[in-house]
């Protein structure tokens, strides 16, 4: 009798365990369809995504993207038929939120083809990128790709707050405190992170403890400012105080460094914030950047010039139906407009 | 310490563990422990107002005790008046003082005088606990309730943390008889309590918080959106406020069940109401019944003629609106509901003589939902100007220059609410075939429909089945991974 009781108890526990494991497997399947990217274990051109992999991202927008053998987002695989144009930027260029045929680099490539320029456009965007990263990586990009031209996509924080941090490549002032330098070098993954990434490649469930930890943090509002994992439409905007301190940042010197790093063969693409109430009024950063680029002879385009179109169409270049209106990353309309803007500019400057 | 935060889980787990460790023969000690825990819970919001809460409990406890022993009607009245005046004065000072100052300043502007508004921090849950204490003294005065034996018991009732901040508004007549119970967690209580809590948590973090991401930007800046987007925002808010508030009530009821008390039902599928009167029987039941019993009926109710009935209805709803917040927007919301209730009453009374046709229930449900949703506009809008702008845009009367945003989350948040309501209707109407099928499915998952006389219908965990554990685990994982991360405080905390 006692033996039967023990057996029943063991059976009940076993059944419960199997049920929980099955639930785990189900949630794994669901999550893989919502968010899946194979992480990179080496310091490649993309620090987060493994070469030859497909990323599924449906947390904000709905995008499936292919990253080629070089770990860059491109319609073509190496070897490239001619010197490529590099699109360098942060998550706005990386654009996991839209499909491969909707991202501005892909549209731009097609548009340039119709104008007789057959250079492949390689998307080197990565989430968290800022101007010092692009300068620090310039030599590596140039020696590997021998690019014909570079597009440097910037937003306000890329030149201010995110450019002067300490954990990643960043700007600093020299001993005389007058000339700035870029502290270069990619940050290698920590050994524990590499081990973790190997496990995570096998299944997202291995990230459960990390998810758990992060979720608890989010729920408790302890780390309010940290970008949460499932927070669609999250955007790291500058505070009013920080943006008013623009004069504290040596923007002209920062731009000079990037100009030198890419031998002057670059176009700066500024992603302007879009306010439907005052769509055409330029931000202080935008005005300053435009002036500096003109002075230094750098090709410069701003998405501000497209805002009239968005007003007319009653849409926003940012945000998705599954996130928020006018918040977060560029949607396909935004990418389409950026591609049109760049194709006109590149057609002019590359000819020169 | 909101119910969906890990700190609350830790707090609750510690309390339940301590109660379990105390065993079954230390009832009084467990009640004192609960009282202390409730005070700690309140102090976690703002310890400075704990004194205010305890003072109110002393005043009302003494007033009720004096009422019960006094034989002279005038003395009884005087003590009742003291209780009501002190409660309303506290509520008036903390909640409405600046509202009146600002309105006076509006008038004073014409004559060149100005009163500086006071720096007052609104104590959390003040509207709820003042109503609760007032109902106690009024019930004792009316002779419908015996006084509480000890102040400590009374304080445990007043400070009972699951419903302290945002209701349900529990009356002494419901709660105090339960004070003699043996409290503390048992396997049965935990199964029922956790099931109800989980339902509430799902409503809050999976639906309400997600819909807040749609409603908030639209209500915060309505000028940039098109009519279609504003309609979506309004419907999103309708569902959000229901899931948020009823989710909170469920969590409160579940928590109380785990401790060993039953709290009253606060929502009974309000959006299936076929008319506005029915809506108020299903929405925030504890408030609407409070307003009925302590305001509408004493005003005369429907006993003083037709016109007076309409006036009483309007007054009750205007004050009910003002109870929600010190703003003309809330008064407008109350006025809209008051008017609708009066019109419905008029239609009912004149239906026969004027041959007004009976509306099909489905049309009635649609029309009631539409009216209630529109009435949420002044309730949620930031200002009177925004309210007007939203109404104008929705009716196509504005310039129409806004952008169209079709929020996806609304379309997958609607089905669970709709299905929940439909199943609820089937159970309520006792549609045998469908209820039997539903019961059979629930049974396969180890679930059962629990019909509690105080707390209403709930689907609760009954026994462990393989399918049930699988679905429960999946449910918890889904909650964990897909809960909205914009963890916002419950809407009704501000009232």
Distance of alpha carbon B205 from alpha carbon B487, whole angstroms:
7
Task: Specify the pLDDT at position A213.
Answer: 62
Distance of alpha carbon B139 from alpha carbon B84, whole angstroms:
12
**How many domains does the structure of chain B reveal?**
1
Instruction: Please report residues of A whose CB lies closer than 8 A to that of B480.
Output: 211-212, 215
Contact A171, A163 (CB under 8 A): yes
Neighbours of A7 (CB within 10 A): 10
Question: What is the band of A65 on the pLDDT scale with cuts at 50, 70, 90?
Answer: very high
Question: What is the band of A240 on the pLDDT scale with cuts at 50, 70, 90?
Answer: very low
Nearest chain B residue to A211 by CA distance is B481
B478 vs A206, which has greater pLDDT?
A: B478
Tell me if chain A has a CB within 8 Å of the CB of B446: no
- In sequence order, which residues have a C-beta less than 8 Å from that of residue A56 and are 6 or more positions away? A32, A33, A34, A35, A36, A37, A63, A64
CB contact under 8 A, A218 and B7: no
Say if strands A53-57 and A180-183 run parallel, antiparallel, or are unpaired.
unpaired
> Does residue B91 fall inside a structural domain?
yes
CB contact under 8 A, A231 and B466: no
User: Burial, B406: exposed, middle or buried (Cβ in 10 Å; 0-12, 13-18, 19+)?
Assistant: exposed
The alpha carbon dihedral of B272, B275, B276, B282 has a sign of negative
Neighbours of A248 (CB within 10 A): 9
3-class SS at A86?
strand
Instruction: Please report residues of A whose CB lies closer than 8 A to that of B408.
Output: 320-322
Contact A24, B472 (CB under 8 A): no
Q: Nearest-5° angle of CA B450, CA B290, CA B201? A: 40
**How many domains does the structure of chain A reveal?**
1
Task: Specify the pLDDT at position B49.
Answer: 84
> Does residue A107 fall inside a structural domain?
yes
Task: Specify the pLDDT at position A2.
Answer: 56
Tell me if chain A has a CB within 8 Å of the CB of B349: no
Tell me if chain A has a CB within 8 Å of the CB of B10: no
Known catalytic residues of B? 324
Instruction: Please report residues of B whose CB lies closer than 8 A to that of A12.
Output: 464
CA distance to B197, B317, B328, B440, B471, per residue, from B443 (Å): 20, 43, 50, 5, 13
A72 vs A8, which has greater pLDDT?
A: A72
User: Burial, B78: exposed, middle or buried (Cβ in 10 Å; 0-12, 13-18, 19+)?
Assistant: middle
CB contact under 8 A, B483 and A219: yes
Q: What is the DSSP string of A252-294?
A: HHHHHHHHHHTTT-EEEEE-----TTSTTPPPHHHHHHHHHHH
ipTM, two decimals: 0.72
- Domain hosting residue A311, numbered range: 84-349
Averaged pLDDT, A222-242: 36
- Domain hosting residue B53, numbered range: 27-173
> Does residue A17 fall inside a structural domain?
no
Distance of alpha carbon A43 from alpha carbon A71, whole angstroms:
10
Distance of alpha carbon B336 from alpha carbon A211, whole angstroms:
46
Contact B373, B235 (CB under 8 A): yes
Tokens of A10: 């063991």
Nearest chain B residue to A224 by CA distance is B486
- Strand partners of residue A150: A86, A266
Instruction: For residue range A87-112, list pLDDT tens digits in order.
Output: 999 899 999 999 999 999 999 999 99
The alpha carbon dihedral of A317, A320, A321, A323 has a sign of negative
The partner residue sitting opposite B470, judged by closest CB among A23, A232, A277, is: A23
Averaged pLDDT, A21-46: 77
> Does residue B49 fall inside a structural domain?
yes
Residue among B2, B214, B403, B465 with most chain A CBs within 10 A, to mutate: B403
> Does residue B6 fall inside a structural domain?
no
> Does residue B344 fall inside a structural domain?
no
> Does residue A136 fall inside a structural domain?
yes
Give the B window 414-443 contacts with A, CB below 8 Å.
none
Which of A41-45, A254-258, B340-344 is the least confident region?
Answer: A41-45
Nearest chain B residue to A219 by CA distance is B5
Instruction: Please report residues of B whose CB lies closer than 8 A to that of A24.
Output: 473, 477
Averaged pLDDT, A295-309: 90
User: Residue A343 is part of a domain; what is its CATH number?
Assistant: 3.40.50.1110
Q: Could you tell me how many CB contacts below 8 A there are between chain A and chain B? A: 97
A210 vs A281, which has greater pLDDT?
A: A281
Task: Specify the pLDDT at position A180.
Answer: 66
3-class SS at A59?
coil
Task: Specify the pLDDT at position A232.
Answer: 30
Task: Specify the pLDDT at position A238.
Answer: 38
> Does residue A42 fall inside a structural domain?
no
- In sequence order, which residues have a C-beta less than 8 Å from that of residue B480 and are 6 or more positions away? A211, A212, A215
Q: Is the predicted pLDDT of residue A175 greater than 70, yes or no?
A: no
The alpha carbon torsion through B429, B430, B431, B435 (nearest 10 deg) reads 130
Residue among A22, A314, A327 with most chain B CBs within 10 A, to mutate: A314
> Does residue B427 fall inside a structural domain?
no
DSSP alpha helices (H): ranges in B168-223? 172-175, 187-201, 209-220
> Does residue B59 fall inside a structural domain?
yes
> Does residue A2 fall inside a structural domain?
no
Measured distance between the N- and C-terminal CA atoms of chain A, rounded to whole angstroms? 93
Instruction: For residue range B353-366, list pLDDT tens digits in order.
Output: 776 677 788 888 89
Phi, psi of B249 (to 5 degrees): -60, -40
Tokens of A25: 């497997």
Task: Specify the pLDDT at position A95.
Answer: 92
Distance of alpha carbon A243 from alpha carbon A198, whole angstroms:
40
Task: Specify the pLDDT at position A207.
Answer: 55
Question: What is the band of A254 on the pLDDT scale with cuts at 50, 70, 90?
Answer: confident
> Does residue A14 fall inside a structural domain?
no
Q: Is the predicted pLDDT of residue A126 greater than 90, yes or no?
A: no
For tokens 């949420």, the residue is B376
Q: What is the DSSP letter of A243?
A: H
Task: Specify the pLDDT at position A166.
Answer: 60
Choose among A257, A282, A274, A260: nearest CA to A132. A257
Q: What is the DSSP letter of B93?
A: I
- The answer to whether the bond into B380 is cis (omega within 30° of 0) is no
Q: Nearest-5° angle of CA A22, CA A24, CA A26? A: 70
Task: Specify the pLDDT at position A208.
Answer: 58
CB contact under 8 A, A325 and B229: yes
> Does residue A45 fall inside a structural domain?
no
The partner residue sitting opposite B6, judged by closest CB among A20, A216, A324, is: A216
Tokens of B221: 């800046």
Distance of alpha carbon B474 from alpha carbon B477, whole angstroms:
5
A126 vs A5, which has greater pLDDT?
A: A126
Tell me if chain A has a CB within 8 Å of the CB of B354: no
> Does residue B452 fall inside a structural domain?
no
Q: What is the DSSP letter of B142?
A: H
The partner residue sitting opposite B474, judged by closest CB among A26, A216, A322, is: A26
Helices (H) and strands (E) in chain A, counts: 13, 10
Contact A85, A111 (CB under 8 A): no
- Strand partners of residue A35: A57
Q: Is the predicted pLDDT of residue A243 greater than 50, yes or no?
A: no
The partner residue sitting opposite B487, judged by closest CB among A18, A221, A229, is: A221
> Does residue A96 fall inside a structural domain?
yes
Choose among B65, B40, B64: nearest CA to B53. B40
Q: How far is B402 from chain A (nearest CA, A)?
A: 6
For tokens 């993309």, the residue is A46
Q: Is the predicted pLDDT of residue A236 greater than 50, yes or no?
A: no
Tokens of A250: 């040596």
Phi, psi of A170 (to 5 degrees): -155, 165
Give kind and range of the element (H or E) at residue A183. Answer: strand A180-183
Instruction: Please report residues of A whose CB lies closer than 8 A to that of B485.
Output: 218-219, 228-231
- pTM here is 0.83
Maximum mean pLDDT: which of A205-214, A250-259, A299-308, B2-11: A299-308
Question: What is the band of A177 on the pLDDT scale with cuts at 50, 70, 90?
Answer: low
Instruction: For residue range B460-471, list pLDDT tens digits in order.
Output: 887 878 888 888
Tokens of B37: 């825990």
Q: Is the predicted pLDDT of residue A184 greater than 70, yes or no?
A: no
pLDDT tens digits for chain B (495 residues)? 677 677 788 889 999 999 888 877 788 888 899 999 999 888 887 778 888 888 899 999 999 999 988 888 899 999 999 999 999 999 889 888 888 888 888 888 888 888 888 887 778 788 888 999 999 999 999 888 888 888 888 999 999 999 888 778 999 888 888 888 888 888 888 988 999 999 998 998 888 888 888 898 899 888 888 889 999 999 999 999 999 889 989 999 999 999 999 999 999 889 989 899 999 999 999 999 999 999 999 988 888 888 888 999 999 999 999 888 888 889 999 999 999 999 998 888 877 677 667 778 888 889 999 999 999 999 999 888 899 999 999 888 876 668 888 888 888 888 888 888 888 888 877 777 888 888 888 888 888 887 777 777 788 887 878 888 888 888 888 887 777 665 454 455 554
Query: Using a CB cutoff of 8 Å and minimum separation of 24, what contacts does B298-306 make?
Result: B302/B345, B306/B349
The partner residue sitting opposite A315, judged by closest CB among B403, B473, B477, is: B403
Q: What is the DSSP letter of A35?
A: E
């Amino acid at each position: 009798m006692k033996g039967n009781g023990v057996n029943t108890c063991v059976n009940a526990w076993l059944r419960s365990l199997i049920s929980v494991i099955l639930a785990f497997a189900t949630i794994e399947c669901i999550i893989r369809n919502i968010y899946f990217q194979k992480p990179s274990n080496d310091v490649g051109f993309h620090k987060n995504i493994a070469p030859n992999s497909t990323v599924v991202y449906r947390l904000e927008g709905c995008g499936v993207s292919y990253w080629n053998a070089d770990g860059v987002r491109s319609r073509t695989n190496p070897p490239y038929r001619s010197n490529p144009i590099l699109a360098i930027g942060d998550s706005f260029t990386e654009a996991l939120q839209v499909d491969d045929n909707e991202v501005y680099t892909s549209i731009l490539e097609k548009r340039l083809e119709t104008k007789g320029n057959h250079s492949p456009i390689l998307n080197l965007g990565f989430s968290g990128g800022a101007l010092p990263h692009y300068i620090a990586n310039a030599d590596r990009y140039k020696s590997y790709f021998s690019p014909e031209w570079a597009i440097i996509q910037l937003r306000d924080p890329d030149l201010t707050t995110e450019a002067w941090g300490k954990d990643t490549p960043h700007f600093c002032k020299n001993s005389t405190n007058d000339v700035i330098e870029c502290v270069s070098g990619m940050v290698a993954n920590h050994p524990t992170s590499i081990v973790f990434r190997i496990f995570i490649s096998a299944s997202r469930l291995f990230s459960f403890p990390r998810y758990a930890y992060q979720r608890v943090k989010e729920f408790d509002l302890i780390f309010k400012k940290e970008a949460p994992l499932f927070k669609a439409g999250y955007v790291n905007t500058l505070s009013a105080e920080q943006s008013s301190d623009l004069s504290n940042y040596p923007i002209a010197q920062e731009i000079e460094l990037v100009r030198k790093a890419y031998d002057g063969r670059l176009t700066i693409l500024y992603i302007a914030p879009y306010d439907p109430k005052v769509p055409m009024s330029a931000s202080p950063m935008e005005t300053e950047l435009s002036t500096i680029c003109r002075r230094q002879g750098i090709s410069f385009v701003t998405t501000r010039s497209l805002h009239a179109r968005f007003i007319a169409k009653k849409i926003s270049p940012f945000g998705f139906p599954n996130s928020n209106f006018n918040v977060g990353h560029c949607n396909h309309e935004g990418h389409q407009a950026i591609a049109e803007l760049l194709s006109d500019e590149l057609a002019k400057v590359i000819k020169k | 310490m909101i119910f969906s935060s890990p700190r609350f889980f830790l707090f609750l787990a510690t309390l339940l563990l301590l109660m379990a460790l105390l065993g079954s023969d230390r009832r009084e000690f467990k009640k004192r422990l609960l009282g202390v825990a409730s005070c700690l819970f309140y102090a976690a919001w703002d310890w400075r107002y704990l004194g205010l809460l305890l003072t109110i409990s002393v005043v009302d406890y003494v007033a009720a005790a004096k009422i019960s022993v006094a034989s002279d009607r005038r003395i009884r009245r005087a003590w009742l008046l003291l209780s009501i005046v002190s409660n309303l004065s506290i509520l008036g000072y903390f909640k409405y003082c600046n509202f009146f100052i600002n309105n006076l300043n509006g008038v004073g502007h014409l004559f060149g005088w100005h009163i500086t508004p006071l720096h007052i921090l609104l104590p959390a849950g003040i509207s709820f606990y003042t109503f609760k204490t007032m109902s106690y003294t009024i019930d004792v005065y009316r002779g419908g309730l015996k006084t509480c034996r000890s102040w400590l018991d009374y304080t445990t009732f007043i400070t009972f943390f699951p419903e302290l901040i945002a209701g349900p508004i529990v009356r002494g007549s419901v709660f105090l008889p339960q004070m003699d119970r043996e409290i503390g967690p048992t396997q049965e209580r935990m199964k029922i309590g956790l099931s109800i809590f989980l339902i509430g948590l799902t409503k809050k973090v999976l639906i309400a918080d997600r819909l807040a991401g749609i409603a908030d930007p639209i209500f915060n800046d309505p000028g940039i959106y098109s009519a279609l987007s504003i309609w979506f925002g309004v419907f999103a808010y309708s569902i959000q406020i229901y899931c948020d508030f009823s989710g909170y009530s469920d969590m409160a009821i579940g928590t109380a069940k785990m401790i060993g008390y039953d709290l009253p039902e606060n929502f009974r599928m309000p959006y299936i109401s076929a008319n506005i009167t029915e809506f108020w029987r299903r929405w925030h039941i504890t408030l609407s019944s409070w307003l009925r019993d302590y305001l509408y009926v004493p005003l005369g109710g429907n006993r003083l003629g037709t016109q007076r009935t309409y006036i009483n209805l309007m007054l009750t709803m205007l004050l009910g609106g003002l109870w929600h917040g010190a703003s003309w927007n809330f008064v407008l919301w109350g006025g809209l509901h008051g008017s609708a209730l009066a019109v419905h009453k008029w239609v009912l009374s004149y239906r026969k003589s004027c041959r007004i046709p009976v509306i099909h229930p489905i049309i009635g449900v649609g029309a009631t939902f539409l009216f209630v949703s529109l009435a949420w506009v002044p309730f949620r809008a930031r200002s009177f100007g925004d309210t007007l702008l939203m109404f104008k845009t929705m009716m196509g009367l504005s310039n129409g220059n806004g952008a169209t945003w079709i929020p996806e989350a609304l379309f997958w948040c609607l089905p669970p609410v709709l299905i929940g309501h439909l199943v609820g209707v089937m159970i309520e109407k006792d549609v045998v075939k469908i209820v039997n099928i539903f019961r059979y499915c629930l049974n396969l998952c180890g679930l059962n429909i629990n019909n509690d006389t105080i707390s209403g219908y709930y689907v609760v965990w009954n026994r462990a089945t393989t399918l049930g554990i699988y679905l429960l685990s999946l449910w918890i994982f889904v909650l964990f991974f897909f809960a909205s991360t914009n963890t916002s405080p419950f809407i009704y905390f501000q009232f």
